Amino acid sequence: MRSRLNLYALTFRLPIIVWQALFFIGPLIFVVAMSFFVVKNYRMVETFELESWAKMVSRDYVWSAYRYTLLMAGSAAALATLLAFPAAWFLAFRCSARTRQLVILFLIIPFFTSYLVRTFSWYTILAEAGVLNGAFGLFGLGPYKMLNTAFGTLTGYLTLVLPLVLILQTVTMANIDDRLIQAARNLGCSPARTIRTVILPAGKTGFVIAALFAFILSFGDFVAPFYLGGSNPPTMPILIIDTTKAGQQWPRAAVVAVMMMLTLFVIAFSAIMYAYRKRASR
């Protein structure tokens, strides 16, 4: 359409540019800049020095937190992808469109219940004297230690990402051209082989994007590793909280934030390249 610039067009463009510059771009640039500031006598001095970077990059605990966060977020993404797949497949191919819509509608509910309260609820479920161990006790089992372990952290991550991954996978598979699957079946393909040779390649983009979302959300979440994993070992988001809230060392927290952003940028970029690569060549 016409792209004549007038007062009318500007009314719908300028407010957003100004607003996002003030409250989104500004803060983001500032946090990058802040990683080069230094703290002197409990006051932040705006300068350009590599002091905080040098300090953080030379610490072992930063790198072990970094590796641990990558590992846990990666595991959460992989687990969510694997766990959701059979359910999504069932919803996409063995349910009516109406049932599918209803289940998806139902799965949206968790996004609007407080994640914090759900985590607290898991805390009471997984605790030593909690609901699950109480139930085990009725059968003379346990108690098992589930809190303050990697298991606890992963449970929290999955609570956060599983509904999203399940919805995205279901929608992806429901949108695969039905004729492809019919053709595979007519040619004598078993369901397992159909999944491998038809569904996985056709839905690649959707599956990768779903896993990427799961990774990003888990990577940035502090609630699950803090309350269910007991901060032991801490993850990158917990380092940010500790250095900001307790130490007043904002520049160091900024270093951690920038490390996280760079990592996510690289991972998101490679995942998206991978997700769309085959599509383009076809």
Q: Which of residues 190-229 bind other proteins (CB under 8 A)?
A: 216-217, 219-222, 227
Cα separation, 3 vs 274, whole angstroms: 35
User: Is 262 one of the binding residues for other proteins (CB under 8 A)?
Assistant: no
Instruction: Work out whether 189 is an interface residue with other proteins (CB under 8 A).
Output: no
Helix (H, G, I), strand (E, B) or coil at 38: strand
Q: Is 173 in the site for other proteins (CB under 8 A)?
A: no
Distance CA 73, CA 214 (A): 8
Based on the shown chain and the rule CB under 8 A, indicate whether residue 104 belongs to the binding site for other proteins.
no
Of 154 and 198, nearer to other proteins (C-beta) is 154
* CA nearest to 268, candidates 278, 258, 260: 260
Which structure tokens are listed for 60? 């072992």
If one asks whether residue 159 binds other proteins (CB under 8 A), the answer comes out as: yes
Beta bridge partners of 43: 40
Among 71, 134, 144, 178, indicate the residue that binds other proteins (CB under 8 A).
Answer: 134
- Whose CA is closest to 50, among 252, 257, 240? 252
Stretch 23-82 residues interacting with other proteins (CB under 8 A): 23-28, 30-31, 34
Q: How many CB atoms lie within 10 A of CB 15?
A: 10
User: Residue 171 interacts with other proteins (CB under 8 A)?
Assistant: no
Smallest separation (angstroms) from other proteins to the CB of 78: 16
Asked if 107 is part of the footprint of other proteins (rule: CB under 8 A), the reply reads: yes
Query: Smaller CB distance to other proteins: residue 129 or 187?
Result: 129
Helix, strand, or coil (residue 32): helix
| Count of residues engaged in binding other proteins, rule: CB under 8 A | 87
Upstream peptide bond of 233 is cis (omega within 30 degrees of 0): yes
CB of 47 to other proteins, least distance (A): 14
Among the listed residues 94, 179, 279, 282, the single contact to other proteins using CB under 8 A? 94
Question: What are 180's two structure tokens?
Answer: 């492809």
The count of other CB atoms within 10 Å of the CB of residue 89 is: 16
| Binder among 97, 109, 187, 192 for other proteins (CB under 8 A) | 109
